[in-house]
Amino acid sequence: MNSIRRNPSLAAGGTLVTLLAAIAIFGPLIVRANPDAIDLRHALAGAGAHHWLGCDSLGRDMLARIVWGARLSLGVSTAVAAISLAIGTLIGGAAALAGGRVDNLVMRAIDVVLAFPGFLLAIALAAILGPGLADLIVALTAMGWTGYARLVRGEVLSLREREYVEAARALGARPSRLLIRHLLPGIAGPVAVQATFGVGGIIIAEAALSFLGLGARPPAPTWGNMLEAGQAFILVAPHLTTAPGVAIGLSVLGFNLLGDGLAQLIERRR
């Protein structure tokens, strides 16, 4: 109770994210309606006993689509965050440990990618690779890894001078062991914070790409696809946009609060 009062962001964010994860994992097992089953008799139906969130323009159950969409949207977003994190850590860490010309070259390359607006890069890549889940993940990863590479490089450079790292090096530890055993645990905190905020950003970017018709191919029930499909019916059936809009909003809110809470936690520990 005391810890909740001291760090309400962590408690609220953690609860929201846990809840969303539970919906993504178990939701499709509980909501048995088929998210792709078309039933034109119920097209644009409002919320009711059989369809708790109503039906879309083809009579598909909105609740089922939201729940399956949680799996897709959250799955894609966490996958992208994890892959970006892995690539960024590898490149940033290696550059910092190699130092000198390699470091210089890598950072120059990253500067060029960073000079390119991330969302535009994702749009261009998604447009060229074509619609599809794997292509979507590639496009979103291209947008995000540079931030982690920069962060990890900076943290490694500052940690490298610490005594315990110097001691390990003096004992003959190889660079790879140095990075994995001694440096990564030291930078896990700030990286975790950035990754948590990152997931929120990726959820919005994923929805935006889907909205532009560059995400997962319909009828895949991603929240972005649902928002896009609902916009044509905004006058007659606003629930088609409200449901995915609120789902995206709550997810982003959850990850932002969690990131805030984690940052406070780390700050207090230091």
Partner 1 sequence: MIRYLARRLLALVPVALGVVTLTFALIHLVPGDPVSAMLGDYAAPADVAQMRHVLGLDRPMGQQYVGFLYGLAHGDLGQSISQHEPVARLIRERFPATLELTAAGLLAALLIAFPLGLIAGANPGGAGDLGAMGFAILGISVPHLYLGPLLMIVFSLDLGWLPLTGRGGLAHLVLPAITLGTALAAIVARMLRQSLVQVIGADYMRTARSKGLSRRAALIRHGLRNALTPVITLIGLEAGALLTGSIITEMIFSWPGLGRLLITAINNRDYPLVEGCVLTFALSYVIVNLVTDFLYRAADPRIRLE
Least distance CB 201 / partner 1 (angstroms): 10
Q: What is the CA radius of gyration of the chain?
A: 22
**Residues engaged in binding partner 1 (CB under 8 A):** 111-113, 115-121, 123-125, 127-130, 200, 204, 207-208, 211-214, 224, 227, 231, 234-235, 238, 241, 244-246, 248-250, 252-253, 256-257
Least distance CB 154 / partner 1 (angstroms): 16
Least distance CB 176 / partner 1 (angstroms): 30
51 φ, ψ (degrees, to nearest 5): -120, 100
Instruction: Report how far apart, in Å, the C-alpha atoms of 203 and of each of 14, 177, 251 are.
Output: 17, 34, 8
Least distance CB 55 / partner 1 (angstroms): 19
Which is closer to partner 1, CB of 88 or CB of 93? 88
Which is closer to partner 1, CB of 111 or CB of 166? 111
Beta strand ranges found along 90-224 (DSSP E): none
Which is closer to partner 1, CB of 183 or CB of 265? 265
Distance in angstroms (rounded) separating the CA atoms of residues 258 and 251: 11
Q: List all residues 6 or more positions away from 53 whose beta carbon is below 8 Å from its beta carbon.
A: 47, 61, 62, 63, 66, 239, 243
Q: Is 101 exposed, middle or buried (0-12, 13-18, 19+ CB in 10 A)?
A: exposed
Which is closer to partner 1, CB of 80 or CB of 183? 80
Which is closer to partner 1, CB of 1 or CB of 235? 235
Least distance CB 25 / partner 1 (angstroms): 22
